[in-house]
Structure 1
Amino acid sequence: MVSNPDEKKFHTYQDWLTWDGAWELINGKSYNMSPAPTSLHQYIVGELYYALRTFLQNRNCFVFVAPFDVFFSESEEYKSPDHVAQPDLSVVCSKDQIAKNGCQGAPTLIIEVLSPSTALKDFNEKFNLYQKYGVQEYWIVDPGNRTVHVYWLKDGSYQVQHLYTEGDTIHSFIFKDLQMPLNMLFSLE
């Protein structure tokens, strides 16, 4: 039976399997992935995807755009993961992690593009989730402030590599040659 979760209750992966629509499950809490993102959000995701896809060509890394489920689990067993997230962009550099239904375990790089309804979740719940499970690099793109926060994992904790603002060129910590002019992300405005 397909249903919608009670957003005030604690849920499991088995509950998540029964939900209608796109949902994330983080620390037992359900997060609805609708309404659809704005055109600016989608433009930014598209520009990032294109730049990443072009850069990573022939490097054995794969770029995925939401909706794409990323499963995090305390154990190596992904039949019943502890958390399910749908990052805006996921870069997976281990083909063994790619399954029919998504990614099992931490991608190498995750990028989230903020919207007013997701900002707190992206800076808090997802930040902690990605840090805990070993996502090596995490970017938070903030269209409202026209900034990009880049975090990298060192000794199990995220360090701020840089806060990029207008006129800056974004540099990846993991992919040393990856550079993107920040202004290209906001050129739709």
Structure 2
Amino acid sequence: MGLKSTERQKERYTYQDYVKWNGRWELINGTLYNMAPASSFVHQSIVGELYVALRSCFREKGCVVVMAPFDVLLDEQADYEQAEHVVQPDISVICDQSKIGSRGCDGPPDFVVEVLSPSTALKDRNEKYKLYEQFGVKEYWIVDPLHRTVEVYGRGEKGYEKRDVFGEGDVLVSFLFADLTIPLADIFPNIEREG
């Protein structure tokens, strides 16, 4: 079922509402966000290259690497029907496979990657950053295709600490997994810069 304009006026939504909608949506703090229908070649290329790099590293560790669309349900209550947070990170790394169920990932992945696009940049840098920090995602990467950088955040005692910003000529080093290094020249497409 699609959303009617009157339904869009509702102040707070939950997972119970979310499962009835057609299309791709995210739910953050009960607020509805429409996912951009099409990603650019650059966005998809970066997601694909990172997926391959992460999958080869995490396969040996017994972790699962998943690309969007894949629901991640975050809530402090056991009743996910009332969850007000359902997101679809570009890439999720889940080391506790008991969290993976028919609905997606019930609880925070170990780390997530978001590749910015003009329509998602503010949400990824603000709402999702706060949400991932609040629910204990241990590592968060924000990839900026326009500036060809990756910001790596890792959990410290008081929330996220900025580890570093890596440029396209750098070798990215994970905050959480010291043996995870990625030469970013292999990740960013060798074409004109676009967002």
Match of residue 82 from structure 1: 84
For residues 3-33 of structure 1, give each alpha carbon's deviation from its aligned partner in whole angstroms, at most 9, with x where no partner exists.
2551673322222122111100001111111
Match of residue 139 from structure 1: 141
Match of residue 67 from structure 1: 69
Compared CA separation, residues 174 and 146, structure 1 to 2 (3 A):
same
Match of residue 3 from structure 1: 3
Compared CA separation, residues 180 and 32, structure 1 to 2 (3 A):
same
Q: Which runs of 5+ in 1 are unaligned?
A: none
For residues 44-91 of structure 1, give each alpha carbon's deviation from its aligned partner in whole angstroms, at most 9, with x where no partner exists.
000000001111122110000000000001123334322100000000
Higher relative contact order (CA 8 A, sep 6+): 2
Report how far residue 35 of structure 1 moved: 1.9
SS at match of 1:6: helix
Superposed, which structure 2 residues align to 1:106-185 within 5 Å? 106-185=108-187
Aligned Cα root-mean-square deviation (Å): 1.5
Letter in 2 for 1:38: S
1:53/1:63 contact within 8 Å kept: yes
Which 10-residue stretch deviates more, 158-167 or 6-15?
6-15
Q: Which runs of 5+ in 2 are unaligned?
A: none
2:168/2:188 contact within 8 Å kept: no
Report how far residue 156 of structure 1 moved: 4.3
For residues 74-125 of structure 1, give each alpha carbon's deviation from its aligned partner in whole angstroms, at most 9, with x where no partner exists.
1233343221000000000001100112000010010000000000000000
List 4+ stretches of structure 1 deviating above 3 A.
Answer: none
Letter in 2 for 1:67: P
2:94/2:109 contact within 8 Å kept: yes
Report how far residue 138 of structure 1 moved: 0.1
1:113/1:142 contact within 8 Å kept: yes
Aligned length: 189
